[in-house]
Chains A and B, each alone.
Chain A
Amino acid sequence: MSDSSANHYWKANIRLVLSLLSVWFFISFGCGILFVDALDTIRFGGFKLGFWIAQQGSIFVFVALILIYIRAMDKLDSKYDLDASKESANPAQGESQ
């Protein structure tokens, strides 16, 4: 792969990681710690919202973030033809063309 497409791939990767990490930060440090008292004024069922995010909700969000990352990276890899499973097939294609 050429240097410029490697560069684009890396930039797209960084953008993805930064956007997922900002959600990560907002939910855990923001909602779970900094604004927890404000969110506690909202109730659902037996939970105060801030307390629930701190002890349960944030963990569900973490799982979701990693799952989104896995899917987005798979897509990015195939867009830039970096899918490891296709790797071995590529040189052969190159020769036949």
Chain B
Amino acid sequence: MSVQAWTYLFVFLSFSLYIGIAIWSRAGSTKEFYVAGGGVTPLANGMATAADWMSAASFISMAGLISFLGRDGTFYLMGWTGGYVLLALLLAPYLRKFGKFTVPDFIGDRYYSQTARLIAVFCAISVSFVYVCGQMQGAGIVFSRFLEVDFTTGVLIGMTIVFFYAVLGGMKGITYTQVAQYCVLIFAFMVPAIFISIMMTGQAVPQIGFGSELTEAYGGGYLLDRLDGLSEQLGFTTYTEGQRSTQDVFFITAALMFGTAGLPHVIIRFFTVPSVRDARKSAGYALVFIAILYTTAPAVAAFARTNLINTVSNAEYASMPEWFSKWEGTGLINFDDKNNDGIIQYVGDPQANELNVNRDIMVLANPEIAELPAWVIALVVAGALAAALSTAAGLLLVISTSVAHDMLKRTFMPNITEKQELACARGSIFVAVLIAGYYGINAPAYVAQVVAFAFGLAAASFFPAIVLGIFQKRMNKEGAIAGMVVGFTFTAAYIIYFKIINPAADSADNWFFGISPEGIGSLGTIANLVVALAVAKFTPEPPAEVQEIVENIRLPGEAIPR
């Protein structure tokens, strides 16, 4: 069977599974729609969180980015896992105890203010939109290359599927499809990684293969030494050495960590388990499931980079394998024979370099470059789609609950019935899918970069407000509101300035303290904290009943009734 036939088969099977689950788990009440009825087991929630979390960026782009960044790629690895430590220790148990439906619920009630609630709604919606566009774009790339439909049609197909199960099942449908999607995506990521690891190093565990010696066929010697050698020889930067300044890597890592802990679509997953204890446990499961992929990704990055260089460097263009011309067709690989010798010069010097490889294709092209069987390649496609769709669904749910629950029910139309609220929630997912699809088709930058901005914004707005709300009883509404506004505005302005208004100035000389736009969220977080604490010092303390809520969420046990 050809790659394409296998791909159609796997994509069809996995999509039918998701739709089947969606029909089985239709939501009947708002509680089911928002938090899956609150009865999800920690293990299932751990898997769902992992799938929710690992997006098109983790699956498709991350290993590719690392394989071009080398050691600097570390900030994705540590940032996107280290944030879970913050989430598990500082947020998840307390938010579960608080026991409402959404993040703006917490902000609004804890800071006894509709203004705070609406600011939280605004932040939740902006963060989720930025993030969901990246997912749609990821799904589009996959469809356009492997199902050979054009990019726009690819995005449309992805939109339809997500729309279908998110609208039908709400959180309940999303949770159980995410469990299935986790299984699909982790299997799809691990199988080729194991294959390639065995091929190149004789080690079945990619994490060990990463530090092992290459087999004779690949020239022997340690993989990383070989990769360093090849990189230097061709004029690329040394793979295991950093290029970015230490403070930039430091701040980007911090921004990704704080952002991870502040992302509303991840936080709301912890509202779905029965108790505080289960919330702690499921954070643990989630990180274990995530770590399986995240410790494999840097190995995949090194394998892919070595393989790519081996295959294309100084090879004849005419003798390139089929995958090369297929990716050329999508414009994601570009060969420009500058010296007309018919041989590919893939080197670090931009004047002499003749090959441009888009980072986003490394994971997808990897099994083809390594000449793995057709079904493995098709599996990777199904996995990439699972990763993109599961995250998109989680984000769309945040947007829909923010509109239906926080804006309508809790703020502007408190008298609507549950039925009407449910209808609004479904309607807002529909609108959100359309907007996300539009921006997915017309989005800027690489998938992972788009997503990195969502982190900066989440870090600078939610993370400090929630942590202070739990750990600082004295924190009042004035402080929290001022902090969120300053953090969000500062971060958004910095990113918009360097990425949209004046991209020409986007270089280390012009950055604030040498911090790139990707890392500015951590400075935004600090600004938020400082402003919040300072303002709270000079304004009245919160009312007694709010201080009682804080006392109460600090103790496990029965949740406050919803």
Contact = CB atoms under 8 A, between A and B. Distances in A.
Nearest to B302: A55
Contacts of A84: 275-277, 556-558
B85 A20 contact: yes
Interface string A48-66: 1001101110111011011
| Majority-rule SS of A interface residues | helix
Interface residues of B, number: 52
Contacts, number: 134
A73 B71 CA distance: 35
Interface in A53-97: 54-56, 58-60, 62-63, 65-67, 69-70, 73-74, 77, 82-85, 87
B551 A62 contact: no
B242 interface: yes
Interface string B514-535: 0000000000000000000000
19 contacts: A17-B90, A20-B89, A33-B253, A36-B242, A46-B224, A47-B210, A51-B224, A51-B240, A55-B71, A55-B74, A55-B298, A58-B78, A66-B84, A66-B284, A67-B284, A73-B93, A77-B556, A83-B277, A84-B556
B85 A24 contact: yes
A39 B555 CA distance: 41
A59 B292 CA distance: 10
A9 B551 CA distance: 11
B283 to A, nearest CB: 6
| Majority-rule SS of B interface residues | helix
B287 A62 contact: yes
B174 to A, nearest CB: 24
B20 interface: no
A70 B78 contact: no
A84 B277 CA distance: 8
Contacts of B291: 59-60, 62-63
A46 B82 contact: no
A1 interface: yes
Contacts of B250: 29, 33-34
A-side interface size class:
35 or more
Given A6-B551, A45-B222, A59 B246 contact: no
Interface of B: 66, 71, 73-74, 77-78, 81-82, 84-86, 88-90, 93, 207, 210-213, 222-225, 240-242, 246, 249-250, 253-254, 257, 275-277, 280-281, 283-284, 287-288, 291, 294-295, 298, 551, 554-558
Interface of A: 1, 6, 9-10, 13, 17, 20-21, 24, 28-29, 32-34, 36-37, 40, 44-48, 51-52, 54-56, 58-60, 62-63, 65-67, 69-70, 73-74, 77, 82-85, 87
A82 B556 CA distance: 6
Contacts of A67: 284
Contact of A69 (B78, B246, B280, B294): B280
Given A20-B85, A33-B74, A33-B246, 18 more contacts: A9-B555, A13-B554, A17-B90, A28-B82, A34-B246, A37-B242, A40-B240, A46-B211, A46-B213, A59-B295, A62-B81, A66-B84, A66-B283, A77-B556, A82-B555, A84-B277, A84-B557, A87-B558
| Most central of A6, A9, A37, A73 by chain B CB within 10 Å | A73
A87 B559 CA distance: 11
Contacts of A82: 555-557
A73 B223 CA distance: 42
Contacts of B558: 84, 87
A47 B295 CA distance: 14
Contacts of B225: 46
Nearest to B209: A46
Nearest to B294: A59
B246 A70 contact: no
